[in-house]
């Protein structure tokens, strides 16, 4: 949220106290199942991602298994026994909430960028190439660890069709 205020007010700010380059934003191309990490306008990392089970179109309501589209921010992070590491997005934003309210829908919540499940029955390779989440963006656990260490809270996340 602080980065959003800084962006809106036009102030410059030093990079947070994290190892590695300053990250401007994450750009997710849903159709290409790709997440780009951008520093100073340059793509410095690219990851293959999985999306919700219904990947086409913007998330409309809770349970539709779609991944949202639009501008969001990472507002907190969590270490989970079920999904390894996760970065929470501030979905629904004001636009999503207003649209859902007009439709009489619950917009849903808990959209995250996360790793793959730690599950003996379904090893990590099982999820490669599948859209399997309930609307989140998933990476393999090695890539998720790298992203976790690169990206601070407050980072802008642009999710495009």
Active site residues: 114, 136
Q: Are 112 and 147 in contact (CB under 8 A)?
A: no
Rounded Cα gap, residues 75 and 87, in angstroms = 8
What would the DSSP string read from start to end of 21-66? PPP-EEEEETTTTEEEEEETTEEEEEEE-B-BSS-SS---STTS-P
Largest distance between two CA atoms of the chain: 50
């Amino acid at each position: 949220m602080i980065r959003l205020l800084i962006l809106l007010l036009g102030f410059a700010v030093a990079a947070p106290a994290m190892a590695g380059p300053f990250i401007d934003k994450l750009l997710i191309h849903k159709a290409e199942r790709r997440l780009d990490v951008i520093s100073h306008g340059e793509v410095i990392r690219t990851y293959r991602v999985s999306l919700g089970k219904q990947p086409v179109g913007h998330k409309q309501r809770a349970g539709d298994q779609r991944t949202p589209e639009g501008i969001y921010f990472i507002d907190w992070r969590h270490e989970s026994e079920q999904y390894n590491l996760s970065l929470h997005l501030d979905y629904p934003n004001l636009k999503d909430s207003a649209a859902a309210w007009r439709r009489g829908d619950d917009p849903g919540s808990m959209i995250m960028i996360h790793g793959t499940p730690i599950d003996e029955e379904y090893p990590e390779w099982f999820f490669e190439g599948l859209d399997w989440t309930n609307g989140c963006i998933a990476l393999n656990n090695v890539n998720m660890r790298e992203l976790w260490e690169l990206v601070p809270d407050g980072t802008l996340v642009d999710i495009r069709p």
